[in-house]
Copies of this chain bind each other. A is one copy, B any other.
Amino acid sequence: MKFPVLNRSPLFSGLSDTEIDGIIDSVNYRSRSFPAGAMVVIEGDDISSVMIVLSGSVRGEMTDLTGRTIKIEDIHPPQALAAAFIYGKEARYPVNVIANTDAELLIIGRAEFLTLMNNDRRLLLNYLTAVCTRALFLSDRLRFLSFRTIREKYAHYISSLPGANSGRVVINRTQQELADYFGVTRPSLARAVSGMESDGLISVDRREVRILDIRRLSTLSES
């Protein structure tokens, strides 16, 4: 097999090694090596290809106005770069991508990847699943960040958990993880939660929350 790592990619899941080889060979692909530290793509570049990390690792970095960089995330084989953006209107890379180590990337033009998807329904469904799941994830995050107060975020969060109707839910994250999820600091979250408890809205025992006053819980943002 040419690129053995691909059979662990969600994009090619359900396909045999032979089929993957056949698909890759049927198209005009390139593979390109980058030495450690090399720029793979520059923020603002047009996204014209699917780029899949085959070996090594790369990282996304945002650039500050002064040129200072902030690391966003590492991308390891067999993940793809900006997979959910490829066919977007005027899609551009939102960040710089730099090789952490010597790295090799598989590059397939966007039109040719479209042909591949057209020829294999499983590949198409795999890609659609990836993009739609990403959109779901982003939309979910956006909902929580758009709530103003921590109380609102917390109220909506616990009411979305299984068991909310029965008035008793269990949060399966640490407070720190939940705070990160909400985009707030942990002490602030703890303060908001204990405030809601002393207001009689909920009753908290560590990760177990009982909903005491549904009506006020939902209207707290207006009072």
Binding site for B on A (CB under 8 A): 64-66, 68, 84-89, 91, 94, 114-115, 117-118, 121, 124-125, 128-129, 131-136, 138-143, 145-146, 148, 155, 159, 183, 214-215, 217-219
Contacts and interface: CB of A to CB of B under 8 A. Distances in A.
A89 B183 CA distance: 25
B66 A132 contact: no
Given A118-B121, A145-B183, A136 B214 contact: no
A218 B132 contact: no
Number of copies: 2
Nearest to A114: B125
Contact of A88 (B136, B159, B183, B214): B136
Contacts of A148: 183
B131 A131 contact: yes
Q: Which of A124, A129, A131, A217 has the most CB of B within 10 A?
A: A131
Contacts of A146: 145, 183
Contacts of A85: 132, 135-136, 139
Contacts of A64: 218
Contacts of A86: 128, 132
Contacts of A140: 94
Contact of A133 (B89, B117, B133, B134): B89
A131 B131 CA distance: 7
Contacts of A141: 142
B65 A155 contact: yes
Given A135-B138, A146-B145, A183-B145, A87 B214 contact: no
A148 B89 CA distance: 29
Nearest to A216: B66
